Copies of this chain bind each other. A is one copy, B any other.
Amino acid sequence: MKRIERAIISVYDKTGIKEFAKTLVNEFNIEILSTGGTGALLEKNNIPYVKISEYTSSPELFEGRVKTLHPKIAGGILFRRDLEKDIKDSIENNIPPIDMVVCNLYPFKQTISRPDVTLKEAIEMIDIGGPTMIRAAAKNYHHVVVVPAPACYSQIIDELRKNDGIIPEKLRVELAIKAFSLITDYNSTITNFLLSSYHPSEMFKPVMFKTYQKVSDLRYGENWDQRAAYYRDLASNHGLFDFKQLHGKDLSFNNYLDIDSCIQILLDFGIKNHVTTIIKHTSPNGVAMDEQDQLISVKKAFSTDPLSAFGGIWGFNSMLTEEVANYIVNEEKVFLEVIMAPSYESKAIEILKQKKNLIILEFGDFLEKRSEIYSNPELRSVLGGVVVQEYDHKPVVKEWNVVSKKKINEEDKKALIFAYKVSKWAKSNSACFAQIYDTGIYTIGIGAGQQSRVHVIELAVRKAKQFGHEKALIHSYLGTDSFFPFPDGLEVAVKAGAKAIINPGGSIRDDLVIHKADELNCALVFCGKRVFRH
């Protein structure tokens, strides 16, 4: 491109525009064209400019709805400086080149985020002239510089200085890409807003636009030979990107999946009591809730299956204490990859940092933002598309329906709900045996990922026995994520020691299952909500 001779400036966000315009004029002798509000600001600061209405001999119309939509502006931006025919057209029609477009848009996103916004106000904020100029300049990036955000000003000035009033091709390209990105996101926000305004009851609209911004490339994906990355959804105000990493190596793809499971279990338990949850391969392998002491909850959760806990993710719902940090660092068999907690006692961090590779994450008040966190749906790729669903964020108990003759007291109820929450997050089909101790509840055997109910219950029993919970199985509690298709699973559980079982119910053989529970004197709750997670 040639030296920049003429720039149009028309911005809603006026951050830094005064200094930027001044430099263009004083250092590079660039002629400025400008409109209403922006022009007034330049005038106030004695920065010379030409009014667009004078430049085009056409007034600003309809309260600014039409001001830059003019052939002399569009043509000045769009014509090809390397084409004889275009040059001829531009001279014959008195359309001098406009080499730079500095423009940002009416703030549609901010406007609609106001809770009291009306449809009319929102629509008024749909910018027409701005996107036209930005797109025209971006299209013609071989000859024109588009400056679509204040964040670009300092780099532009640097490059103009370095290159004697010229912006190099590489930067023009990047600016054009940025411009089209902003325009896409702007239009996508408008479309989503109109869809929500006119189809409020339809959760899933006929078309769904997503803008994802890369947070980081990842070393690899699920396996070493898959490239991968982590993106933020621009429609979400909260997410894993809120987490602060205090120590350790970069997060891997599988770390993200595990952390996601871990924080969601914690979201289900909330901030009451001391909860420790140990995750391996996105499934919990030990969870405990202690009313008084964090360290006890840690030991209890770890005791469930110390073998599989190796290399796991440990999550907490309360400030991590120095005492627990000491335990984690010094206990011989404990080896974890990630630790995550709302906050840390200051000495706890120092102690944990002794583990060079340990990833330490702090998530502040994240557990208190449940409803905002779950406002967007969950996506999952299937070949050529996605299945989307609401997150499974409703209470795990829909109705408390004790269907057995044997009744249930408050303590039993707490333990059952605890077991059922863990079972929810263990991969389906899943089963979780839990037991009460003097100050809390903990898991004693978790089975996950089986293709039949009876298999997974057998598996959970076996694991409980393997890790020394044979006695704790006596009078234990079982949560299992879907109904019993046959009474056999219940029979296995009761024989192992279960005194009460929670599941959603809903099998065509529920009668047989209830009958078997009564026969074996086991309490049975149908809670009406299945908690599959594949």
Contact = CB atoms under 8 A, between A and B. Distances in A.
Given A449-B427, A449-B450, A227 B241 contact: no
Contacts of A71: 58, 61, 66, 69-70
Contacts of A205: 214
A380 B90 CA distance: 51
Given A79-B62, A281-B534, A451-B283, A212 B223 contact: no
A85 B61 CA distance: 10
Nearest to A482: B223
B204 A177 contact: no
| Most central of A223, A257, A305, A448 by chain B CB within 10 Å | A223
Contacts of A214: 204-208
Interface string A69-86: 111011100111000011
A211 interface: yes
Nearest to A286: B451
Nearest to A125: B139
Q: Oligomeric state, in number of copies?
A: 2
A385 B227 contact: no
Interface stretch (A25-33, A231-239, A493-501, A508-516): A231-239
A188 interface: yes
A194 B180 contact: yes
A382 B240 contact: yes
Contact of A139 (B86, B126, B204, B224): B126
A461 interface: no
Interface in A179-197: 180-181, 183-185, 187-188, 190-191, 194-195
Contacts of A181: 191, 207, 209
Given A89-B62, A194-B180, A381-B380, A139 B135 contact: no
Contacts of A131: 131-132, 135
Interface of A: 58-59, 61-63, 65-66, 69-71, 73-75, 78-80, 85-86, 89-90, 93, 95, 123, 126, 128-129, 131-132, 135-136, 139, 173-174, 176-177, 180-181, 183-185, 187-188, 190-191, 194-195, 198, 203-215, 217-218, 221-233, 236-242, 253-254, 256-257, 259-260, 263-264, 280-283, 285, 305, 307-308, 310, 373, 376, 378-392, 394, 398, 427-429, 448-452, 455, 459, 463, 485, 529-534
B455 A240 contact: no
B385 A379 contact: no
| Most central of A373, A427, A529 by chain B CB within 10 Å | A427
A451 B254 CA distance: 14
A378 to B, nearest CB: 4
A244 to B, nearest CB: 14
A232 B381 CA distance: 10
A379 B382 contact: no
Given A93-B61, A394-B225, A240 B210 contact: no
Contacts of A427: 427, 449
A146 to B, nearest CB: 12
A290 B520 CA distance: 47
A504 B468 CA distance: 33
A283 B388 contact: no
Nearest to A129: B74
Contacts of A126: 135, 139
25 contacts: A62-B89, A69-B70, A126-B139, A176-B194, A183-B187, A184-B187, A203-B229, A204-B228, A207-B213, A208-B213, A210-B212, A221-B387, A223-B530, A226-B391, A230-B387, A231-B387, A236-B384, A239-B385, A240-B383, A254-B532, A257-B380, A257-B534, A310-B452, A378-B381, A379-B380
Contact of A256 (B123, B382, B429): B382
A531 to B, nearest CB: 6
Nearest to A278: B451
